Amino acid sequence: MNLPDFQNIRIYQSLGRIEARSLEATDQLLLILPAKPSAAEFRKIPQGAKMHRVWRQSATDSTPAFISRLGNKKQTLVVAGTLPKDASAFEQLTLGRQLVAAACTQKAGCLGICVVGFDGGRQAVICNNILAAALAAAFELPSYKSKSSPAKIKSIRLIGVDGRVDTARTQAEALGNNLARWLTTQPPNKLDAARYADLARDLAKAKGWAHKRFGTAELAKLGAGAFLAVAQGNDNDSASIVRLRYRPGTKNTRADLSLVGKGIIFDTGGTNLKPFLPMLDMHGDMQGSAVALGTLLAITEMKLPIAVDCWLAITENRTGPKAYKSQDVITAANGKTIQTIHTDAEGRMALADALVLASREKPGIIFDYATLTGTCVSAITNRYSGVFTNRAELHPRLKRVGQNCGERVWPFPIGKEFMEALRSDTADIMQCSPKNDGDHILAASFLSEFVENDTPWVHMDLSAGDNDDGLGHIGSKFTGFGVRYTMSVILDENLFKEDAQANDSP
C-alpha cells in the first residue's frame, strides 16, 4: 500500500500591516475578529469599511458571522467569524472548522488566515488553531471512486501577523492526525492485518524507527493467550503485535513514553456477533493503534528528545469454528487466567497482553488508546473521551491538558472496588461483567491488572474517536482524537518527566 504525503501544503506568512497585495494573493480569506469588533479594527483591513457595513447588516450570532467578497482581481471570498477574547481552544478549533468548511465550497487555491483585534501572543495562538483546521481540511482522505475529488486547499497564507508565527508544532500534529485518520478511514479489505503490519514496517524504515513484529508463534512462546484468543478466529496467520522504537540519540535504553494502541482491523463481535448497524463502521476499531502511530510520527517530525516505544496490537475479531467463545478460560502473558464472557469485549483482551509487554520494558509512563466501550459514549457522549489512570493524582492534570489543547477528556475512577464485579469462580478474573453496568470503568480496571512494575499508566477510551459532524478542528467522521492531546501531554504538561529521569540508565 502506497502512503500519501500526509502534509504537502505550503504555508506562507505576511508580517505586519495587512496589505492589499497580500489579500490579492488569496482566493479565500478567513477573517477572525473579536466578538464585538470596532470600526477601528475593521479599518486595519483593506476594504474594511465595506466589510464593517456587511457585518452590521448581518448582526447575528451565526457562524460564519458574514460572507463577502473583496473588490480585487480575484474577487477574494471573505468568510468571517468572531471569538470572545477568552475563547477556549475547543471554541477556536471549532470556529476554524466551520469557517474552512464555508470557504472550501469555492475552487481550491490559496486560503488566507487573518486574525485582527487580538494581541500578539493571543493572535499567534488563534492563528495556529485556525491553521490546524485548515490543514485537516486540506488533507485528502482515502477515496476509491473512479473519479478523484478535487483538492480543497492548495496553499495557506497567514496575513497581518505581528511577528513570525511558529507553526512547526501545528504542522507536526496535523501530520500525525492525518495519518491516524487516513488509516482509520481505509476499508478493511484494503488495510487488512498483514498490510497494516507491513505499513508499520515501511514507516519504520522511512523514519528511522527500530521495528519488531511479534507473530503468533512468538506470541505463543511469550504466553500471550489473551491476544491470541481474539486472533484465533482469523482464517490466516496475519495477526501480530508490532513494536516501534524512536531513539533520537538519547542515552535512554528504556522508553520515557510508551504508546499502546488497539488495532482491531475489523470487529464482527466474534461468536457474539454484532447487529448490522453497530458492525457497519467496525473498520474503524483500529483507530487506537492509528492514534498511537500518528503520535509517534508527530514526535518524530518535531525531533523531540525523548525515547518512545509504540506497540500496535493488530488483528481481526472474526466468527468461525476456531473463534473463541464465552466461558473459555484464557491465560494472558502475565499468567493471569481470564474467564471470557462476551467475545465482543475483544479490545481489552488484545490490549492486556500488549500492556504486559510494554510495561515489562519499564517505561516512564504508558498511554494506551482504544475504541473500547459503548458505555463511555453513553456517559460523556462522543464530544469527550474518557481517561483512566493508576495514578489518581493525575486526574486534574489530564483534564487540564484536554481543556488547553481542545481535545477534551473526562477522568473516571478505577480500582479494586470495581474488580468485585469481575470476580470469577473459574479463573482469576472475568473479562467483563454480564450486567454491563459501567463497562468503561470495568474495562479500564481490567486493563490495570496487566500493567506490571507499578508503571504509571493512562488509558484513553476514544468515545470522541468518531463523530458524524466532526469535532473541534476536524471535519471528518473519524477524528484522530488523541494525537493533539498526547503532544500537549509531552510539550505542555510533562506528565512523564519525573518518571523519565529514573530511566536515564539501563
Q: How far is CA 225 from CA 89, 100, 355, 405, 430, in A?
A: 43, 47, 13, 38, 15
pLDDT given for residue 495 in this prediction: 77
Q: Are 372 and 461 in contact (CB under 8 A)?
A: yes
CB 104 within 8 A of CB 140: no
Give the active site residue among 201, 274, 391, 400. Answer: 274
pLDDT at res. 7 = 74
Least confident of 145-159, 297-311, 398-412, 430-444: 145-159
Q: State residue 361's pLDDT score.
A: 96
Q: Which of 152, 243, 245, 348 is catalytic?
A: 348
Residue 348 known to be catalytic: yes
Average confidence score pLDDT of the chain: 94
β-pair partners for 387:
411, 460
pLDDT value of position 59: 67
Chain-centre distance of CA 70, in angstroms?
Answer: 37
pLDDT at 497: 62
Return the CA Rg of the chain.
24
Predicted pLDDT at 496: 66
Higher pLDDT, 200 or 500: 200
Beta-carbon contacts of residue 232 (< 8 Å; ≥ 6 apart) = 322, 323, 324
Region 203-211: mean pLDDT is 97
Q: Domains of the chain (ranges plus CATH)?
A: 10-166 (3.40.220.10), 173-501 (3.40.630.10)
Residue 237 has pLDDT above 50, yes or no: yes
Give the lowest-confidence range in 53-62, 97-106, 273-282, 304-313. Answer: 53-62
Residue 366's H or E segment, with its range, is strand 365-370
pLDDT in tens, 14-64: 999 999 998 999 999 999 999 989 999 999 999 999 999 999 888 677 899
User: What Å distances lie between residue 157 and 29, 64, 68, 72, 131, CA to CA?
Assistant: 9, 20, 19, 17, 9
Q: What is the percent of the chain with per-residue pLDDT over 90, rounded to a whole number?
A: 88
- 274 catalytic per annotation: yes
pTM for this structure?
Answer: 0.95
Q: What is the per-residue DSSP string for 181-224?
A: HHHHHS-TTTS-HHHHHHHHHHHHHHHT-EEEEEEHHHHHHTT-
pLDDT of residue 149: 78
- Lowest mean pLDDT segment, chosen from 63-67, 92-96, 320-324: 63-67
Nearest of 259, 211, 188 to residue 482 by alpha carbon: 259
The span from the CA of 126 to the CA of 137, in Å, is: 17
The mean-pLDDT minimum among 17-21, 100-104, 212-216, 502-506 falls in 502-506
User: Does residue 240 surpass a pLDDT of 70?
Assistant: yes
- The two beta strands, 240-246 and 308-317, are antiparallel
Q: Would you call 408 helix, strand, or coil by DSSP?
A: coil
316 φ, ψ (degrees, to nearest 5) = -100, 165
Q: With contact defined as beta carbons under 8 Å apart, do 100 and 30 qualify?
A: yes
Q: Cell for 182?
A: 487516513
pLDDT at 252: 67
pLDDT in tens, 94-123: 999 999 999 998 788 999 999 999 997 999
Check pLDDT > 90 for residue 500.
no
Phi, psi of 184 (to 5 degrees): -70, -30
What's the maximum distance between 2 C-alpha atoms anywhere in the chain?
A: 78
For residues 323-350, give the mean pLDDT: 98
